[in-house]
């Protein structure tokens, strides 16, 4: 089954998503309300898979940074500590790949904010991917998953793609039976699945694997950077340069906040009780035909919707921990944050030679927000310093996200 066919499941979801993705940009969101005292989402009496909540297990308690809302949780997959623990183990288990050489964690290293440091990723069979691994920091708040797919709206849906997709091959699993047999033969998984899905007739299943993975990923929350602490009243948490850079970031001069605003530093974030917002943007990276074309196979949203005006549109990634997630853009074509600033200052990228030559600043399809700007050397340093202030060291080193199979992991 191809990756595309996997993600085209659920026509009702497709219609809703395509309607939402037509907007170019949503307004920059202001600070999120302090929802730390908000009641936890209700847990249904029974999930659709037949399992039942463990009456003796304590209710899941979110440990969210102040000001963060609760992530949205599907009614048929309520959170539990047992599911999160199981999902973490599965996330780092190479048995989830066909040749048992890669796990989800191979492309999503916690120390790199769950990216892999490559311009574009490599699958378990060595196949080169056309795009880079996105950060999973706060992925539970993402309105849609991956760079340019409005159909993948839940982590449960998305988990199937890397396991079984073949365009490109990521983990390269052939079928559910192989996966279930491997997990059933393990000394720990049968009990772990039974604990995570009590009462289920078949505890070890693909459905439960995806639900456990999704539960773990919803706990990957980053919100304790120096900038967060500054917002919480720790005035010395960031430097004067970073404060000036923050003022620039949220100004109309450089426009960053329009696509990277709100608590998630992304304009495509949703949470419990919030409105659904999903946007894709053409940032003028390419203009290979003078009409705004992007090179194959990285053409963005148009490859899913088929609408010409969606050429080159990609989802704005979170900027949290951006300093540790180089290289940048969907194809890793910017090596440093300084390169990224050059791109936006020019209002698009010019490639003078080569197969993709063109002036992105003149693309008729690029976002209206990309008008370019001029910074003094000091302003440039300040803006880069502000981006550095979004690095959450405690998140990058959090033992709850470490590989449980690693000999150096607790």
- Distances in whole angstroms, Cα of residue 122 to Cα of each of 128, 213, 218, 235, 293: 5, 21, 24, 42, 25
- Distances in whole angstroms, Cα of residue 212 to Cα of each of 196, 209, 339: 8, 5, 38
| Torsion sign over Cα 143, 148, 153, 156 | negative
> Would you say residue 160 has pLDDT above 90?
yes
Mean pLDDT of 52-64: 74
| Whole-number pLDDT of residue 406 | 87
Tell me the per-residue pLDDT of 14-38, one tens digit each, with 9 for 90 and over. 333 333 333 443 323 333 323 332 3
| Whole-number pLDDT of residue 408 | 60
Q: At 74, list the tokens.
A: 């599907």
Helix (H) or strand (E) holding 370: none
Mean pLDDT of 180-193: 98
Give per-residue burial for 273-286: e unless 16+ CB within 10 Å, then b: ebeebbbbbbbbbb
Q: At 17, list the tokens.
A: 């998503």
Better-scored residue on pLDDT, 3 or 273: 273
State the pairing for strand pair 313-314/281-282. Answer: antiparallel
Mean pLDDT of 311-336: 97
Mean pLDDT of 140-153: 95
> Would you say residue 176 has pLDDT above 80?
yes
Which residues touch 294 (CB under 8 Å, ≥6 apart)? 285, 286, 288, 300, 311, 312
Name which of 173, 161, 178 is nearest 213 in CA terms: 161
Asked if 123 and 170 touch (Cβ cutoff 8 Å), the reply is yes
Better-scored residue on pLDDT, 407 or 290: 290
> Would you say residue 50 has pLDDT above 80?
no
Q: Please spell the DSSP secondary structure of 104-119, one letter per residue.
A: HHHH-BGGGTSB-SSS
> Would you say residue 121 has pLDDT above 90?
yes
Separation between Cα atoms, residue 118 and residue 215, nearest integer Å:
26
Give per-residue burial for 373-399: e unless 16+ CB within 10 Å, then b: bebeeebbebbbbbbbbbbbeebbebe
Mean pLDDT of 94-99: 97
Query: How confident is the prediction for the chain on average, in pLDDT?
Result: 88
| Whole-number pLDDT of residue 199 | 93
Cis peptide before 290 (omega within 30 of 0): no
Separation between Cα atoms, residue 105 and residue 340, nearest integer Å:
26
Better-scored residue on pLDDT, 389 or 276: 389
> Would you say residue 55 has pLDDT above 80?
no
Which residues touch 128 (CB under 8 Å, ≥6 apart)? 120, 121, 122, 168
| Whole-number pLDDT of residue 59 | 79
Q: At 123, list the tokens.
A: 């699958």
């Amino acid at each position: 089954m191809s990756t595309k066919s996997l993600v085209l499941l659920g026509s009702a979801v497709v219609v809703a998503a395509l309607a939402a993705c037509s907007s170019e940009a949503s307004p920059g969101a202001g600070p999120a309300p302090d929802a730390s005292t908000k009641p936890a989402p209700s847990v249904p009496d029974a999930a659709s898979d037949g399992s039942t909540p463990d009456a003796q297990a304590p209710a899941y308690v979110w440990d969210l940074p102040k000001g963060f809302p609760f992530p949205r949780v599907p009614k048929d997959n309520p959170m539990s500590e047992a599911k999160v623990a199981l999902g973490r183990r599965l996330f780092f288990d190479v048995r989830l790949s066909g040749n048992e050489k890669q796990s989800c964690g191979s492309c999503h290293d916690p120390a790199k904010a769950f990216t892999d440091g490559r311009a574009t990723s490599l699958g378990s069979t060595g196949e080169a991917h056309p795009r880079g691994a996105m950060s999973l920091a706060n992925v539970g708040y993402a309105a849609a998953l991956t760079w340019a797919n409005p159909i993948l709206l839940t982590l449960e849906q998305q988990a199937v793609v890397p396991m079984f997709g073949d365009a490109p091959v990521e983990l390269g699993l052939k079928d559910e039976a192989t996966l279930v047999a491997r997990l059933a033969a393990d000394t720990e998984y049968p009990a772990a699945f039974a604990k995570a899905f009590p009462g289920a007739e078949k505890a070890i299943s693909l459905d439960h694997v995806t639900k456990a993975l999704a539960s773990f990923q919803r706990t990957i929350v980053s919100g304790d950077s120096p900038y967060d602490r500054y917002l919480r009243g720790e005035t010395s948490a960031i430097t004067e340069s970073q404060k000036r850079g923050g003022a620039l970031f949220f100004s109309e001069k450089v426009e960053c906040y329009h696509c990277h605003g709100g608590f998630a530093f992304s304009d495509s974030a949703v949470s419990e009780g919030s409105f659904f917002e999903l946007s894709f943007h053409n940032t003028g990276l390419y203009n290979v035909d003078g009409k705004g074309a992007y090179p194959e196979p990285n053409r963005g949203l148009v490859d899913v919707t088929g609408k010409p005006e969606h050429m080159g549109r990609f989802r704005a990634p979170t900027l949290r921990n951006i300093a540790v997630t180089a290289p940048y853009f969907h194809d890793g074509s910017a090596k440093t944050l300084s390169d990224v600033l050059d791109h936006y200052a020019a209002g698009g990228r010019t490639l003078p030679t080569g197969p993709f030559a063109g002036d992105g600043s003149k693309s008729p399809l690029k976002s209206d927000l990309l008008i370019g700007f001029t910074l003094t050397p000091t302003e440039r340093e300040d803006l880069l310093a502000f981006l550095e202030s979004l690095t959450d060291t405690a998140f990058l080193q959090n033992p709850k996200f470490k590989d449980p199979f690693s000999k150096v992991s607790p």
